Chains A and B, each alone.
Chain A
Amino acid sequence: MTTSHRYSKTRTTFGLWQLIQLAPALLVVVGLFGGALALALLQSLGFAPWFGINEFPNPNYFLALWSEPDFWRSLWLTLYYGLASTVVGLVISVPLALTFERRFRGSKTLLALTRLPLMIPYTVGIALALLMLGNGGILSRLAAGLGLITDPGEFPRVLQTHWGWGVIAVYVWKQVPFMTLALLAVLMGIGQGTREAARILGASQVQVFWRITLPQLMPGVVSASLICFAFNVGAFEAPFILGGGHPETLPVLAWRYFNDANYTYQLQGMAVIVSLILVSGSILVGYLAIVRRFERVRGKAP
């Protein structure tokens, strides 16, 4: 979001009063959030005096973790869930936002209804997935009603597998409303003028979508997918309940290490967490860099 420069174009100095006003928010973000990051990093490098361990800096927790093939399998699984849910969510949200951009009969009510999952906890979404997608679930019953299957075992296994469609369904269910809301906000900001001009000048619907709508939507697509991807790779409860067990996603793996009776495993758990932050962080930075470059090529950014 750009700053409004309506009142003064001059830079005001950043004084003590400003700092005092920012202090509580900084305390939360730098103190709590930053503190947690710093502690995770220190601990994963062998700093845990409360366990009588102080071998900082000791890279062995990382080296031990990274040498296990299981860790890499978990990492791929985590990234797969994160990426697949984000992409599927976008594929649904972009046309949905475009459909709801202009009012039609009942559009307000229908839009509010599509927004329902945004308001409801993920755990409810997991409960719904168990109810709908299990082998004895509603979809399986409907398939039986249509005569497609005669035994619950014949229904394709959706939950507790490593393809993870159950996990992905829950994330998509919850994130489509969020993405749609963010995209609608962008669409309302840009208006329909450019698109209509292009239509009048003879561009086809497909051309308008790829050449105008999508580039204009990019800021919304980027921020919505960044937030959703970051959330999805931190997914815990959905893979925990709906996932296929071993290998597990990194957050679940970290939680298991953390709850192990052998407390030195906690340091290993912290190494899992730091690795997760490093990987997801570099993916997000890389993604932003690609977007920046893309915009520069198109001449949108300096």
Chain B
Amino acid sequence: MTTQGLRRLSVGQRLFVLAVLAFTVGPFAPLLIQSFAFRWAWPDLMPSVWWFEQRQISPFPLAWDYVLSPTSQVLEATINTVGIGVAVMVVCLIICLPAARVLARGHFRGKRRLEFVFSLPLLVPEAAIGIALLMIFIGLGISGTYPGVIAVHLIPTVPYMLRMLTSVYQGLDAGYEDCGRVLGANEWQVLTRITLPLLLPGVLAGALFTFLVSTNLFLLTFFIGQGKIVTLPTLLFSQISGGAMGATAAGIALIASIPGLILLVLSDRLIREEAFALGIGDT
């Protein structure tokens, strides 16, 4: 066991990593094949008839032709997913930046209890919140509207964002801000010229993660959206809720994976592992 440099994995470890990869990434290969298949009977490992061989003679759009046609609602769902994700990200940042500052800098009685309260939404089943909130939102007349869906997406995202931003603020030396003040900067200048640029990497990571959670949410969108607001996860749900998978569902599943794939490439550079030290157990 050396402490520096690259380590060699044992055969067992290599097999283990391979098995985990086969489990996490492997199923995407048949998903891709399925999205191009027209007839794929058991026990063939490859489709016997492909979609592009049939598309000319079929009276209605097949597979990707259907997925990319307006009737499939894929475009609408993609715009909704990304739009809601961005809105949730922005609102969440605005809500969490000042609160994280207080949690990171202030030393007041009951602070740990407050931190625990802020992590509670992660510990209560989503389904419970969804159905109860639907009653409230119907009463307020915002069920099935964008503000309603955005508001409900804040519940699972605010706790993560707060945690990540609090740890970012704790890593920020307040001395820099004091320096700026001593040198004559006003509060606004301190915020825009010193605090925000220093916070930027952490803020970016938190924002990306929030976007990710929002675009992945099914249940809360499904309950509060009332079928009027279609996102990629709810669209896919309506395709597969019968328990069968066709070429269309496979195509929609692939499209629903695209935001995540883009974020995977970005997050490799941006999301800091330390931000995930959730520490609920020691509260």
Contacts and interface: CB of A to CB of B under 8 A. Distances in A.
Contact of A130 (B16, B117, B243): B243
Contact of A104 (B8, B30, B99): B8
Interface residues of A, number: 120
A103 interface: yes
A272 B112 CA distance: 31
Nearest to A124: B253
Contacts of B166: 1
A127 B31 contact: yes
A223 B127 contact: no
Contacts of B222: 237
Contacts of A43: 132, 135
B118 A29 contact: yes
A83 to B, nearest CB: 14
A127 B1 contact: no
B21 interface: yes
A58 interface: no
Contact of B139 (A50, A189, A251, A291): A50
B53 interface: no
A121 B8 contact: no
A144 interface: yes
A22 B240 CA distance: 42
Interface string B161-195: 01100110010001000000000000000000000
Contacts of B111: 3
B241 interface: yes
Contacts of B60: none
Contacts of B281: 218-219, 222-223, 226, 288, 291
Contact of B107 (A12, A177, A241, A242): A12
A203 interface: no
A24 B95 contact: yes
A240 B241 contact: yes
A214 interface: no
A294 to B, nearest CB: 11
A110 B233 contact: no
A135 to B, nearest CB: 8
A30 interface: yes
Contacts of A219: 277, 279, 281-282
Interface residues of B, number: 112
Interface string A2-20: 1111011111111000101
B24 A273 contact: no
A191 B56 CA distance: 61
Contacts of B114: 22
Nearest to B112: A3
Given A18-B102, A121-B232, A130-B244, A102 B257 contact: no
B31 A7 contact: no
B48 interface: no
A92 B20 CA distance: 8
Interface in B206-259: 212, 215-219, 222, 232-234, 236-237, 240-241, 243-245, 249-250, 253, 256-257, 259
- Kindly name the residue among A105, A127, A192, A251 whose own CB sees the greatest number of chain B CB atoms within 10 A: A127
A224 B16 contact: no
Contacts of B282: 1-2, 219
B256 A123 contact: yes
Interface string B30-61: 11001000000011110000000000000000
A116 B24 contact: yes
A177 B99 contact: no
Contact of A234 (B3, B24, B128, B132): B128
A273 to B, nearest CB: 4
16 contacts: A1-B163, A7-B105, A25-B95, A25-B158, A28-B154, A32-B155, A92-B20, A119-B259, A123-B236, A127-B31, A130-B244, A131-B30, A140-B42, A184-B273, A223-B280, A273-B131
Given A13-B108, A20-B98, A269-B131, 14 more contacts: A1-B277, A3-B104, A14-B110, A18-B106, A39-B135, A108-B268, A119-B260, A121-B260, A131-B27, A152-B42, A176-B24, A234-B125, A237-B219, A242-B243
Interface of B: 1, 3, 6-9, 13, 16-17, 20-21, 23-25, 27-28, 30-31, 34, 42-45, 94-96, 98-99, 101-112, 114-115, 117-118, 120-129, 131-136, 139, 151-152, 154-155, 158-159, 162-163, 166-167, 170, 174, 212, 215-219, 222, 232-234, 236-237, 240-241, 243-245, 249-250, 253, 256-257, 259-261, 263-264, 267-268, 273-282
